């Protein structure tokens, strides 16, 4: 059985490396001026390190796709033309695009690069897929508004065109992400389709009657207002077999602005699901669904993939994703006196925690905390860089991550 590609987000260079180590076959990344996600933390992808980032992906045995998926104004086309020497030298495996003009320009500069049509072009039927295939695209990233049965029909009609679908992560309230809410609510300062989405669909809203502008009414019985536009996050881990059987070539996870822990844990879960089904014919993934409850989410839904979504597909009470487990620390190095870590959330001497690596998952106990002066202490606080010791240690410590045990923040 042919395995589909697992495609993970690479919001910065560190996340790119962890995503691949935790199981991604490919990553997608972009420059701020031409991408629908603008990163602000970590070693972000820039014109200066674009080539080294893509080279790193290749060295780790993965592909790297570059997003040029903004909807471009004249100034953007000129900016893109000025940057194509950098893009060409970086040698991405494919370009993800949504704008006809960008596609036209990119084809002139990148003769040996594949082109993937973005989900923002609203690909919903096999005739549209054929259209893009005739224009030279090699992959169609399908709209989230399709069912698995409809995806299978598209594949049967256009079998030699690669199909990519989103399987996990945040969803846009607007059709295939074509949203103007952010532009309107921020008076044009945060353009959703230009990398600056303010996620206005996640805001809390009240009802205002025209003649009583100073008397906001609650739409439901919630003192914080309501989040009637905020969809739950997509989670198709339990439908991986059906998607593979439908002929999907690439399974894509949303989340270039998500944490290192999110990228690692989600990649690990979907890698396991793909391998279980393709290698062993196993299609029961309830344990992996629980693993995904441990990362940030707004509650989970299957969207349109297994039926038309109803009110259960929206998060009415909260807009911020809550993780079922706290990200405790990231392992940096192994020293004579223990493991150097960067603390993400407070932990205490004697705490029982869970460690995951690309190949392991186990429960252990914090047996010592050593500060920069070499003194033993009882508390490791957020953002501390300390040396920790554990009752059981990871084999592959370089990419190890620690988190709390169990699942809290039930959604």
- Residue 353 in contact with residue 347, Cβ under 8 Å? yes
Summarised one tens digit per residue, pLDDT across range 344-403 is 999 999 999 999 999 999 999 999 999 999 999 999 999 999 999 999 999 989 999 999
pLDDT at position 275 is 98
pLDDT at position 224 is 46
Q: For residue 299, what are the contacts with CB-CB under 8 A and spacing of at least 6?
A: 232, 233, 315, 411
225 band by pLDDT with thresholds 50, 70 and 90: very low
- CA count, 13 A, side-chain hemisphere, 88: 14
pLDDT of 222 above 80 = no
pTM: 0.87
Continuous segment of H or E residues that includes residue 214? strand 212-217
Average pLDDT (245-250) is 98
The span from the CA of 112 to the CA of 108, in Å, is: 10
The vertex-378 CA angle with 377 and 384, nearest 5°, equals: 70
Q: For residue 196, what are the contacts with CB-CB under 8 A and spacing of at least 6?
A: 38, 182, 189, 190
Summarised one tens digit per residue, pLDDT across range 121-178 is 999 999 999 999 999 999 999 999 999 999 999 999 999 999 999 999 987 665 555 5
- Residue 361 in contact with residue 291, Cβ under 8 Å? no
- Residue 2 in contact with residue 25, Cβ under 8 Å? no
Higher-pLDDT residue of 14, 314: 14
Average pLDDT (263-278) is 98
pLDDT at position 299 is 87
* Residue 406 to residues 23, 292, 299, 325, Cα–Cα distance (Å): 23, 12, 17, 7
Annotate 345-364 with DSSP letters as a single string: S-EETT-EEEEE-SS-EEEE
pLDDT of 61 above 60 = yes
pLDDT at position 211 is 78
The vertex-39 CA angle with 62 and 132, nearest 5°, equals: 55
* pLDDT averaged over every residue in the chain: 88
287 band by pLDDT with thresholds 50, 70 and 90: very high
3-state secondary structure of 278: helix
pLDDT at position 223 is 46
pLDDT of 271 above 80 = yes
pLDDT at position 308 is 76
Summarised one tens digit per residue, pLDDT across range 78-116 is 999 999 999 999 999 999 999 999 999 999 999 899 999
Q: For residue 82, what are the contacts with CB-CB under 8 A and spacing of at least 6?
A: none
Q: How many residues does the chain have?
A: 411
pLDDT at position 322 is 81
Q: What are the structural domains of the chain?
A: 5-175+230-313 (3.20.20.70), 327-403 (2.40.30.10)
Lowest-confidence pick of 15-29, 116-130, 199-213, 239-253? 199-213
Q: Residue 395: left (phi > 0), alpha (psi -120 to 50), or beta? A: alpha
Using a pLDDT cut of 70, give the percent of the chain over it: 82
């Amino acid at each position: 059985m042919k395995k589909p590609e697992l495609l993970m987000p690479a919001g910065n260079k560190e996340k790119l490396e962890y995503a691949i180590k935790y199981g991604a076959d490919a990553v997608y990344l972009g420059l701020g001026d031409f991408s629908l996600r603008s990163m602000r933390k970590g070693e972000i992808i820039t014109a200066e390190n674009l080539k080294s980032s893509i080279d790193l992906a290749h060295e780790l045995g993965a592909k790297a796709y570059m997003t040029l998926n903004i909807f471009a104004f004249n100034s953007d086309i000129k900016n893109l033309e000025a940057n194509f020497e950098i893009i060409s030298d970086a040698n991405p495996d494919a370009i993800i695009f949504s704008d006809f003009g960008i596609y036209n320009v990119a084809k002139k500069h990148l003769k040996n690069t594949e082109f993937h049509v973005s989900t923002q072009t609203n690909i919903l039927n096999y005739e549209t897929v054929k259209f893009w295939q005739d224009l030279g695209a090699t992959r169609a990233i399908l709209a989230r508004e399709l069912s698995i049965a409809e995806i299978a029909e598209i594949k049967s009609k256009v079998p030699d065109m690669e199909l990519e679908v989103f399987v996990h992560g945040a969803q846009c309230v607007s059709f295939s992400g074509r949203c103007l809410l952010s532009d309107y609510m921020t008076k044009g300062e945060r353009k959703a389709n230009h990398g600056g989405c303010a996620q206005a669909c996640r805001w809390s809203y009240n009802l205002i009657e025209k003649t009583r502008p100073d008397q906001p009414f609650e739409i439901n019985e919630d003192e914080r207002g309501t989040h009637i536009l905020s969809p739950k996050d997509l989670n198709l881990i339990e439908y991986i077999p059906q998607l593979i059987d439908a002929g999907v070539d690439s399974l894509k996870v949303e989340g270039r602005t998500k944490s290192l822990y999110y990228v690692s844990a989600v990649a690990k879960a979907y890698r396991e699901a793909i391998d279980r089904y393709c290698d062993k014919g196993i299609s029961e993934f309830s344990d992996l669904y629980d693993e995904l409850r441990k990362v940030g989410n707004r509650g989970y839904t299957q969207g349109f993939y297994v039926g038309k979504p109803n009110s259960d597909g929206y998060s009415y009470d909260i807009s911020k994703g809550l993780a079922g487990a706290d990200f405790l620390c990231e392992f940096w190095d192994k020293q004579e006196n223990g493991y150097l870590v960067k603390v993400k959330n407070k932990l205490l001497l004697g705490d029982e925690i869970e460690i995951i690596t690309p190949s392991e998952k186990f429960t252990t106990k914090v047996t010592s905390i050593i500060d920069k002066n070499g003194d033993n202490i009882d508390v490791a606080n957020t953002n501390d860089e300390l040396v920790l010791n554990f009752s059981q240690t990871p084999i592959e410590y370089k990419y190890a991550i620690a988190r709390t045990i169990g699942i809290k923040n039930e959604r």
